[in-house]
Structure 1
Amino acid sequence: MEGAEPLSILDQRVLASCADHREAFASADPFPHVVIDDFFAPEFAAALLDTFPAFERGNAVGDDGKVGGKSTLERVRALGPAYRRLDDAIQSPAFLRLIGQITGIDGLLYDPWYLGGGTHENRHGMSLDPHVDFNYHPSERWHRRLNLIVYLNQEWDAAWGGNLELFRDPHEDRRPTRSVVPRFNRCVIFETSERSWHAFDRIALPAGREDLTRRSVALYFYSHERPAEETAPRHTTYYVKRQLPEHLVEGHVLDGHDVTELTRLLQERDAHIRMLYAENTALRKAQDKGIGGHLLYLAKRAYVRFRR
């Protein structure tokens, strides 16, 4: 059948249950999403894992400009036949139509640059704070609409952390509305919007298993248009630091674990504040440079003197 070949990377049960997935996506809480187990055909999922890139091959520089415990690689076609087949499939009209049918979003666009996407790998100790993603493609006038993540961890336990967390409002909620264990060949598709708060909790592997890593393939999809009521001014990824653990209430006696956790949370918050100040300083320096910066300086100077 014409157009069906790209869908051969999927387990055929995904196609057969399309209507069920659409219903689950539309009715999900706290925002539209669906979890689909056994997403890829078994042999294809195994091939993706077998040729998953070494941590050192990806980019491990974080938002703070320092090398950390997360590695990403956007040039997936360089990873061999399985990833070239994946790339060919996800840009096909058949695949885009299928994802559109599941999510109810028409006119989905594939990102040939995988900006922010591709392969993701996280080591022991890593976590991801609640955030909403950047809402426009960095180089195109496209609205970001969907994240599609497939996990490639053959051995993973919920107690080890690294669970995808979906929040109603992380400014208020200490716990996520839903937590998803990143098990092998499990796919999560969720709408990206101004309320699609997501994160993953700290990876804490058991003694002797710290060599394991949390692996996934992240695919982002866009559209030319978006309903006006869902459209917001362009912004970058917006992070919120986590609330205090639920057990820290009046009358609780701190133990060593509590002190360690509080120290870590304060260190992370301080690092976040330092990063924001550094970004603000960099923006002001850029603003002050050149003719435009000089004209802005003169305008501010005139305004201040006029006010006196």
Structure 2
Amino acid sequence: MDRQPGTSILAPHVLASADGLQAQFRANAPFPHVVIDDFLEPSFASALLASFPDFNRGNHIGDDGKPGGKSTLDKIRAVGPAYQQLDDAIKSPEFLQVIGAITGIDGLLYDPWYLGGGTHENRNGMSLDPHVDFNFHPSERWHRRLNLIVYLNPLWEAAWGGKLELFDDPGKDASPARSIVPAFNRGVIFETSERSWHAFDQIRLPAEHAGITRRSIALYFYTKDRPADEIADRHTTYYVNRQLPEHLTEGHTLTAADAATIKALLDQRDNHIRLLYAENTALRKAQDAGLTGHLLYLAKRAFVRFRR
């Protein structure tokens, strides 16, 4: 493919190998994906890193209303010229055509609101449980089809965690089918579906690098239609708690690290339960509010009295 304004941000080898990348994308397990090193033109990748937004500039408030270890920013154009160039490129027909050629998915749509996407930054100790993403655009009747993640971590080792994990079935599998180190200028494109379970393992930085953060840019793409056998009812992001590590079997003597792992898994489960209860309470409060809530109350009251 020829380099055009919309594809000038991509490294030349990406354009030259689109057909071969599509073969990899379709063949890779546990669901269609491809890992492309040196994804962006080198100087452009460096410009994105140099102007990556400060952690406190993004949304770093957790579900509990307190500052957390993750920060996201979806107002891409406000970050600076490099991010304006990124935004101009990824919405261009030529860029969408290249990503379509790599994945075999035609008619891709760019999300101008970057809902759920944009810059992502995670501090030491953070992790992300296995999940499948929301399947429809929150405000449009678009099917979510692809995640494109570009990592911006010049210094990162596999032993530090933070690896993108792809699962076959996290409800059964303690270990992912594939782990991908978030190395600098590494692009990962994967299909979003009802089986695209993904996560990242806990970031465990050595003391001398404790101030490093895991940085990435997440871009999501949609289509107006998708194959009928892939369509599911609209849902939000669906999480599954991690399984116990495979070595924790009968007869194993627990180490301090094992005990810490079990405690962390229990804490994650309890936090998930608390979040579900809070969401349930919020929904009930919204249901009870206003005229509709009052009418529903009267209907329930009549039903209960009628049953007597």
Question: TM class, shorter-chain normalised?
Answer: over 0.9
Confirm or deny: 8 A CA contact 1:26 1:32 kept in the other structure: yes
State how 1:116-127 maps to structure 2 within 5 Å. Answer: 116-127=116-127
Quick one: which amino acid aligns to residue 295 of structure 1? Answer: L
Three-state SS of the structure 2 residue aligned to 1:208 is helix
Does 2:271 match 1:265? no
User: Partner residue of 1:37?
Assistant: 37
- Superposed, 1:166-245 pairs within 5 Å as 166-245=166-245
Question: Once superposed, what is the RMSD of the aligned Cα atoms?
Answer: 1.3
CA distance in 2, matches of 1:65, 1:179: 32
| Offset of residue 306 of structure 1 | 3.1
SS in structure 2 at match of 1:301? helix
Q: For residues 209 and 264 of structure 1, what CA distance do their matches in structure 2 show? A: 22
CA offsets, 1:6-58, max 9 Å, x none?
11111100011101110011111111111000000111111110111111111
Q: Are 2:273 and 1:281 aligned?
A: no
200-209 vs 58-67, greater mean Cα deviation: 58-67
Rounded to whole Å, the distance in 2 between the matches of 1:46 and 1:290 is: 52
Distance, in Å, in 1 between the alignment partners of 2:2 and 2:270 is: 55
CA deviations 1:223-254 (Å, max 9, x no partner) are 11111111111111111110011110000111
CA distance in 1, matches of 2:298, 2:197: 42
**Alpha-carbon distance between aligned partners in 2 of 1:108 and 1:56, rounded to the nearest angstrom:** 33
- Cα-to-partner distance string for 1:85-138 (whole Å, 9 max, x where unaligned): 110000000000111111111111101111111111100000000001111111
SS in structure 2 opposite 1:121?
A: strand
**1:132 and 1:247 mapped to 2: Cα distance?**
26
| CA deviation map 1:185-214 (0-9, x unaligned) | 000000111111000000000112100110
**Alpha-carbon distance in 1 for matches of 2:91, 2:199:** 27
Q: Which amino acid aligns with 1:147?
A: N
Q: CA deviation at 1:304?
A: 2.8
Taking the aligned partners of 2:23 and 2:130, their CA distance within structure 1 comes to 26
For 1:236 and 1:251, how far apart are their aligned partners in 2?
A: 40
Q: Give the structure 2 partner of residue 109 of structure 1.
A: 109
Separation in 1, partners of 2:250, 2:238: 31
Deviation at 1:300, TM superposition (A): 2.1
Distance 1:222 1:278 in 2: 30
- Matched residue, 1:305: 305
Give the aligned residue type for 2:55: F
Which aligned segments of 4 or more residues in structure 1 are displaced greater than 4 angstroms? none
Q: Which residue number in structure 2 is paired with residue 95 of structure 1?
A: 95
CA contact (8 A) 1:3 1:93 kept: no
Gaps of 5+ in 2: none
Q: Which residues in structure 2 correspond to 1:109-148 (within 5 Å)?
A: 109-148=109-148
Contact 2:3 2:15 in 1 (8 A): no
Give 1:97's aligned amino acid.
Answer: Q
CA displacement at 1:3 relative to structure 2: 7.6
Paired amino acid for 2:284: R
AA aligned to 2:40 is: F
Pairs within 5 Å for 1:241-256: 241-256=241-256
Structure 1 gap segments, 5+ residues each: none
Separation (CA, whole Å) in 2 of partners of 1:305 and 1:173: 49
Distance 1:265 1:138, change over 3 A: same
Contact 2:11/2:41, CA 8 A, preserved across alignment: yes
AA aligned to 2:108 is L
Distance 1:305 1:31 in 2: 53
Q: For residues 2 and 130 of structure 2, what CA distance do their matches in structure 1 show?
A: 42
- 2: CA distance between counterparts of 1:271 and 1:259? 18
